[in-house]
Chains A and B, each alone.
Chain A
Amino acid sequence: MPEALIISQAILWIAVAVLATVVFALVRQIGVLHERIAPIGALTIDKGPKVGEHSPLFELADLNRTPVTIGAENPTGRATLLMFVSPTCPVCKKLLPAVKSLAVSESKWLDVVFTSDGEPQAQTDFVARHRLQGFPLVLSSELGLTYRVSKLPYAVMIDHEGIVRAKGLVNTREHLESIVQAKQMGLASLQEYFGKRMAAAEAPPAVNGEGAGKQHG
């Protein structure tokens, strides 16, 4: 009898462990699904100025008290990339080199404006530590509130006419590039861009592989 109980107990334990593993896998899958179905920046509730609408006009000043205008028509035809960052956001710090290299490569048509809020001293330290002296940094909680920025780093692309062309949470260099792409390709939103990219990715890869093979052969 005790032997039977021991065996039964062992089998039950194994069954419970397998069940727990299955539950874990299911919960993980739900997480992946959330990532897929949520708009980019899962936690960004899409309110505020919509893509395609005029940005509200802001007359602000950067840390050096140089006036910075956001959302106005720009007669020189330059677009503005608004980067919402904060000295206390680790992802922002990792993204800064990507923003800087983007500012250089797209310098012909794009101005980058950083925006943050909080203590001016912390911002000045932030600028010095990450060598952002070349960019205007405006302190404005109003700007973040207007654009309903709930997660950082957040980017808003405003074209030369003051129209919002793309916006979203930018966690990676790829996200950032997609904001620029969305502007250049004239797509209405990042979702559309990702939708098209996903559709492209689903095209049979074998065709591409063969094509490349033939070229080399």
Chain B
Amino acid sequence: MTIDPTVAWTSSLLLAAVFVASAAIKFADLDEFRGALESYRIAPAVIEPILTFALPLLELCGAIGLMFASWRAFAAVALLALLAIFSTAIAINLLRGRVYIDCGCFGPALRQKISWWLVARNGALAVLATIAAVPLAPRDLGALDFITIALGAITLAILYAAANYLLANAPRLAALKMSDA
């Protein structure tokens, strides 16, 4: 099975942008990310300092790997694994009833309480990673393809950020509705 190069590159570029942003925000405030990790209460305390550094590093390496044809499939699979781990951690805490913890996805700038929406969002990212893992179909790219790839990835990245803001606003809106009632 192969996939059209325009689709593959748009997915890869978008996924890379998402993970570079995510890693950069975590590296900017590792204390905060460590606090978020602790609040998940999944990893043993001993490896938490390692994870605090390793998870954003993996995100960054995965994002960079997506930009090189020879590394793309490998990086995509690594990011898929990372997404699966994140989603499992969120799902475990949702099932435990710890719905009030911060996702830790984007640091203090954008606090999102964990919800099934976040699992769904990670699912959407996993679809992108799957697309990026499939080999490319042989087709020469023209000018229009480059426009599609560049503007497509930028547009989707902005919409992804907007969707995240909506997710962060949701509990605030709920609190507002409750205080009115």
Contact = CB atoms under 8 A, between A and B. Distances in A.
A16 B151 contact: yes
Sort chain A's interface into a size bin.
20 to 34
> Interface centre among A20, A23, A46, A89, by most B CB within 10 Å?
A20
Nearest to B175: A43
Contacts of A37: 176
Given A13-B152, A23-B159, A90 B175 contact: no
Interface stretch (B76-84, B85-93, B128-136, B160-168): B160-168
B76 to A, nearest CB: 24
Nearest to B36: A90
A30 B169 contact: yes
B38 A27 contact: no
A213 interface: no
Nearest to A41: B175
A31 B34 contact: no
A13 B151 contact: yes
B144 A20 contact: no
A82 B46 CA distance: 31
**8 nearest A-B pairs in the assembled complex, by CB-CB distance:** A90-B35, A13-B151, A24-B162, A20-B158, A27-B165, A34-B172, A88-B38, A17-B155
Interface of B: 31-32, 34-36, 38-39, 100, 108, 143-144, 147-148, 151-152, 154-156, 158-159, 161-162, 165-166, 168-169, 171-173, 175-176, 178-179
